[in-house]
Amino acid sequence: MQNPYLPYPVRIDEIITETEDKNLKTFKFVFLNPEDEEKFAYRAGQFAELSIAGKGEIPIGIASSPTEKGFVMFTVNKVGLVSTHLHAMQVGDIMGIRGPLGNSYPWDVVKGKNLVIIGGGFAFTTLRSSIIYLLDPQNRADYGNIDVIYGARTPGMLLYRDELAEWEARDDINMHITVDGTDDPDWKYNTGFVPTIADQKAPPGDDDTYAIICGPPIMIKFTQPVLDRNAYAHDHIIMSLENRMKCGVGMCGRCNIGREFVCKDGPVFTLAELNKTPKEY
Amino acid sequence: MEILKIKKDDLSKGLDALKKSYRLFGPAKTESCHEFKRLEQDEQPDFNFSNTRLSPKAIIYPQSETMFTYSLDENDEDAHILKEVNSLDAPQAVIGIRPCDADAFLLVKRNFDAPDYKDPYWLNAYAKTTLVGLACEKPCPTCFCTTAGSGPFSERGVDILLADAGDDYLAKVITDKGSALAKAAGWDAPSDPDSATEEIERLKTAAEEKISSHVETDHLDKIDTTALHQAPFWEDTAFACINCGTCTFLCPTCWCFDIQDETCGAKGERLRNWDSCMFPIFTVHGTGHNPRGTKKQRVRQRFMHKLKYYVDKYEIGIQCVGCGRCIRSCPVNIDIRKICNLMNHYKPDTVEEPAS
Ligand SMILES: Cc1cc2nc3c(=O)[nH]c(=O)nc-3n(C[C@H](O)[C@H](O)[C@H](O)COP(=O)(O)OP(=O)(O)OC[C@H]3O[C@@H](n4cnc5c(N)ncnc54)[C@H](O)[C@@H]3O)c2cc1C
Ligand code: SF4
Ligand code: SF4
Ligand code: FES
């Protein structure tokens, strides 16, 4: 019997400090047993439990894309027990990864459609995975227009800044980067909260356009009316939830919203689905 | 299906024989109540009980159990890598489990034996366990098993069902596991099948007639989830609750758990421990945000899970076998029967009906 709680052993291969406050670090992991990488075959939007013996596990969205081989990558905010310990670990240290878990963004449903990707703060991780996946030469032709609205408090709080700049330069993806505010005179992108920029830049909703939103509750709360105003149907609004988790496989009972488990039936739901469940997220 | 006749004296002889190959558990009297415990060489179960205060769920699903071990000693080749522990391999048996509690394992199994994931700890322990049920002849006033999908003579989930027929037990052997256990115990005296069946039916009818309390569940699957979640009665229902968690702790059909690492020196274990939806920490995020931060939200979760989400998810009835433990032990008299009936009769657009 496959033990769903047993992590694959991994080694930390690279650590990148992402933000000016140093609270967000990206970790690249390499599997100790190469065959485990195949078993860890994942889709953009899934997550994994990062497992540190002696500390515990945390559910973290997979930030690398299935099209990137040889490593898996996560970006972790320093919050509490496990994430703080992880931030103090070094390249070469051994830990575990359990997954992939959850359902992923509905790539089969959005095939051939236009996508508006809206992200805020550090919840951009699985959106990075998605963008890398979409821009892969093997996949790009399968999707329509791609708009990305991504914001952080300040320029120094944006994740993956080198990649954002690369994407800005491309003509097969429309980037709308924004910050809440900045005193940097050279800032050449938008200034304003994500919902405001979304209102200005998001294409109008129609049958062939889907919005994927990932961000703090407050951003989601104010973005939803914007999408409503721009005629996005609720089954065309896709969101990823973060409930407290332990098992990640629908057994420990804590992450439910109604009968759905965020860990197993989610974390990705359409707004139409969420409208039918108790708002316990 | 075979019905054996076991002379009361032969029961203990059989159990002694079983101890050679099975770890046995049975009801035993403690200071204030009965609890299931391991029966050592010279111990016999005490059948003079209505039901135990705690459910026997810990025999298959320990309150705390080791999932993995690890070493943090850098000199160890496998430092920081979790290792699986040896699982229970000897057979075990619970002697005198009440039918409702045996049925509860079937309800819980749906959670641990999902199509996509299997919980190896629970499933292995369940597979190794034989359940010898003891039919109830004197149900308590708080038992409502007959309307909760079980019953004092329910055969669901038991491998053998014993019925007390005066000088003998009539033992209905229901599964292969049950017949293997009967053989190992040396219980092989057949009864006259017709008269034994008739006798069991008579006892069963008499016991069922003594069940005086009921729940109504026929509308639960028809009510809209979000409307029920918004019903006005949750405020009142939760008012007296002190979130002590007694209800979930005692309940044979509650299965929620936590996972924690415990290190001692350079060695440690990843453990799983029972947890409870009644505690605020169960759902609090690292950021402090808590989707079920209030008592009302937690009480509602407990009842909605048992009486609505489970009902909709599995379509086989409520996640409760009517054992009545949570009613008997709640310090503020919160009564699932009353809440079940409130939920079942709730009509979102009309005035709330009084509790029946
Ligand atoms: C599907 C999903 C994807 C996520 N993706 C990311 C990501 O890409 N980057 C990131 O920085 N954070 C992400 N989070 C949030 C992250 O899981 C929490 O910040 C983290 O668990 C905090 O753990 P801690 O031990 O540092 O904090 P503590 O407060 O000490 O938490 C103790 C334990 O509680 C649980 N827990 C606490 N908060 C949360 C929470 N918000 N969600 C789930 N479990 C929690 C964990 O088991 C944790 O070990 C995600 C959460 C979910 C559910
Ligand atoms: S036993 Fe009663 S008071 Fe305690 S948590 Fe349960 S319902 Fe609340
Ligand atoms: S909810 Fe109460 S009555 Fe139902 S099985 Fe659990 S303890 Fe027994
Ligand atoms: S994390 Fe255990 S049920 Fe979802």
B42 pLDDT tier (thresholds 50, 70, 90): confident
Identify whether residues A139 and A216 lie together within a single domain: yes
Burial of B180 (0-12, 13-18, 19+ CB in 10 A): middle
On whether residue A129 sits in a domain, the answer given is: yes
pLDDT, residue B85, reads 92
C-beta separation of A235 from A106 below 8 A: no
Coil, helix or strand at residue B204: helix
Residue A73: domain span: 8-100
Residue of chain B whose Cα is closest to the Cα of A55: B261
Candidates B229, B277, B286; nearest CB to A253: B277
Residues A124 and A91 in one domain: no
Say yes or no: B283 contacts chain A, CB-CB below 8 A.
yes
Pairing of strands A24-31, A8-17: antiparallel
For B31, other C-beta atoms within 10 Å of its C-beta total 4
A87 shares its domain with A28: yes
The verdict on residue B313 lying in a domain is yes
Question: Does the pLDDT value for residue B269 go beyond 50?
Answer: yes
Alpha-carbon distance B158 to nearest alpha carbon in chain A (angstroms): 24
Q: Out of B259, B275, B277, whose CB is closest to A57?
A: B259
Higher per-residue confidence, B274 vs B42:
B274
DSSP-assigned beta bridge partners for residue A239: A213, A269
Nearest CA to ligand 3 atom 4: B320
DSSP annotation of B61 reads: S
CATH number, position A65? 2.40.30.10
A60 lines ligand 1 (CB under 6 A): yes
C-alpha closest to that of B278 among B332, B321, B338: B332
Same domain, A91 and A204: no
Residues B252, B287, single domain; the answer is yes
Q: Give the residue on B whose Cα is nearest the Cα of A58.
A: B286
B217 within a domain of the structure (yes/no): no
What pLDDT score does B350 carry? 55
Q: Residue B37 and residue A182: Cα distance in Å, rounded?
A: 67
Whether pLDDT at B351 is above 70:
no
Please tell me whether residues A30 and A63 are part of one structural domain. yes
pLDDT value of residue A77: 95
Does residue B81 lie within any of the structural domains?
A: no
Residues B188, B236, single domain; the answer is: no
- On whether the CB atoms of residues B22 and B91 are closer than 8 A, the answer is yes
Q: Which pair of tokens denotes residue A66?
A: 């299935």
A23: Cα separation from own chain's centroid: 17
Query: Distance between CA atoms of B6 and B25, rounded to whole angstroms?
Result: 19
Residue ranges making up the domain that contains B264: 225-344
Annotate B265-276 with b (16+ C-beta within 10 A) or e (fewer): eeebbbbbebbb
Residue A60 falls inside a structural domain: yes
State if residue B322 touches ligand 3 by the CB under 6 angstroms criterion. Answer: yes
Q: Are residues B252 and B141 in the same domain?
A: no
What tokens does B171 get? 């033992």
Establish if A254 belongs to a structural domain: no
* Closest by CA position to A202, among listed A232, A239, A169, A158: A232
Number of domains in chain B: 2
pLDDT band at B355; cut points 50, 70, 90: very low
Do A85 and A126 belong to one domain?
Answer: no
Residues A81 and A161 in one domain: no
Question: Is residue B78 a part of any domain in this protein?
Answer: no
Distance CA A266, CA A114 (A): 22
Question: A119 and A26 in one domain?
Answer: no
Q: What token pair was written down for A130?
A: 């998605």
E strand or H helix at B105: helix B99-112
Q: What is the distance in angstroms between the Cα of B329 and the nearest Cα belonging to chain A? A: 23
Report phi then psi at A139, rounded to 5. Answer: -115, -25
Does residue A149 fall inside a structural domain?
yes
A124 DSSP 8-state letter: T
**Same domain? B54 vs B176:** yes
Tell me which of A45, A66, A100 is where a domain ends.
A100
Which contacts of B232-240 are long-range, i.e. CB under 8 A and separated by 24 or more positions? B232/B352, B233/B342, B233/B346, B233/B352, B234/B296, B234/B299, B234/B300, B235/B296, B237/B299, B237/B300, B237/B303, B237/B334, B237/B339, B237/B342, B238/B295, B238/B296, B238/B298, B238/B299, B238/B300, B240/B332, B240/B333, B240/B334
Instruction: Examine the domain organization and report whether B66 and B178 are in the same domain.
Output: yes
Q: Is the pLDDT of residue B356 over 90?
A: no
pLDDT tens, residue by residue, B221-254: 999 999 999 999 999 999 999 999 999 999 999 9
Q: Is the CB of A16 under 6 A from ligand 1?
A: no
Distance A60 CA to ligand 1 centre (A): 7
Per-residue pLDDT for B14 more than 90?
Answer: yes
Distance CA A159, CA B161 (A): 63
Q: Does a structural domain hold residue B220? A: no
pLDDT, average across residues B330-340: 95
Distances (CA, A) of B294 to A44, A185, B285, B297: 34, 47, 14, 5
Residues B127, A6: Cα–Cα separation, whole Å: 21
Note the helical H segments in chain A.
34-39, 81-87, 125-135, 161-169, 194-201, 217-229, 271-275
Q: Check whether residue A95 and residue A130 sit in a common domain.
A: no
pLDDT digits (tens, 9 = 90+) for B104-134: 999 999 999 999 999 999 999 999 999 999 9
What is the predicted pLDDT for the residue at B88? 72
Q: What residues have CB less than 8 Å from A227, skipping those under 6 apart?
A: A198, A202, A205, A211, A237
Q: How far is the CA of B321 from the centre of ligand 3 (A)?
A: 6
Domain boundary among B157, B177, B209: B209
What is the rounded average pLDDT of the residues B196-217?
A: 92
Domain count, chain A: 2
The per-residue pLDDT of chain B, averaged, comes to 93
Per the prediction, chain A carries an average pLDDT of 94
Q: What is the pLDDT of residue B94?
A: 97
Give B71→chain A minimum CA distance, Å: 8
CATH of the domain at A129: 3.40.50.80
**Are A278 and B225 a contacting pair, CB within 8 Å?**
yes
DSSP B114-155: -SS-B-HHHHHHHHTEEEEEE--SS--TT--GGGTT--TT--
Verify that B174 and B316 share a domain, yes or no: no
Domain identity same for B266 and B181: no
- Residue pair A233/A204 in contact (Cβ under 8 Å)? The answer is no
* ipTM value for the complex: 0.92
Cα separation, A46 vs A265, in Å, equals 11
Q: What is the DSSP letter of A65?
A: -
On whether residue A58 sits in a domain, the answer given is yes
Phi, psi of B37 (to 5 degrees): -145, 165
Does any domain span residue A252? no
> Do A96 and A119 sit in the same domain of this protein?
no
Q: Tell whether A246 is covered by a domain.
A: no
Say yes or no: B103 and B153 in one domain. Answer: yes
Same-domain pairing of A76 and A131: no
Backbone angles phi, psi at B286, to 5 degrees: -60, -30
Do B177 and B101 lie in one domain? The reply is: yes
Q: Is residue A96 situated within a structural domain?
A: yes
Whether A61 and A158 map to the same domain: the answer is no
Q: Does B298 touch chain A (CB under 8 A)?
A: no
Q: Are residues B321 and B246 in the same domain?
A: yes
Contacts of B124 (CB under 8 A, 6+ apart): A1, B87, B88
User: Which of B209, B238, B256 marks a domain boundary?
Assistant: B209
Q: Residues B202, B256: one domain?
A: no
Rounded to a whole number of angstroms, the CA Rg of chain B reads: 22
What does DSSP say about strands A146-152 and A174-179: parallel, antiparallel, or unpaired?
parallel
Q: Which residues pair with B271 in a beta bridge?
A: B66, B260
Per-residue pLDDT of chain A (281 residues; tens, 9 = 90+): 689 999 999 999 999 999 999 999 999 999 999 999 999 999 999 999 999 999 999 999 999 999 999 999 999 999 999 999 999 999 999 999 999 999 999 999 999 999 999 999 888 999 999 999 999 999 999 999 999 999 999 999 999 999 999 999 999 999 999 999 898 888 999 999 999 999 999 999 999 999 999 988 788 889 999 999 999 999 999 999 989 999 999 999 999 999 999 999 999 999 999 999 998 88
pLDDT above 90 as % of chain B: 85
Domain final residue pick, B209, B233, B257? B209
Three-state SS annotation for A153-178: CCHHHCCCHHHHHHHHHCCCCEEEEE
A22 lines ligand 4 (CB under 6 A): no
Dihedral sign computed on CA atoms, order B15, B131, B184, B124:
negative
Residues composing chain B: 356
- d(CA A198, CA A175) in angstroms, rounded, equals 11
DSSP helix/strand/coil, B257: strand
pLDDT of residue B126: 96
Residues B182 and B229 in one domain: no
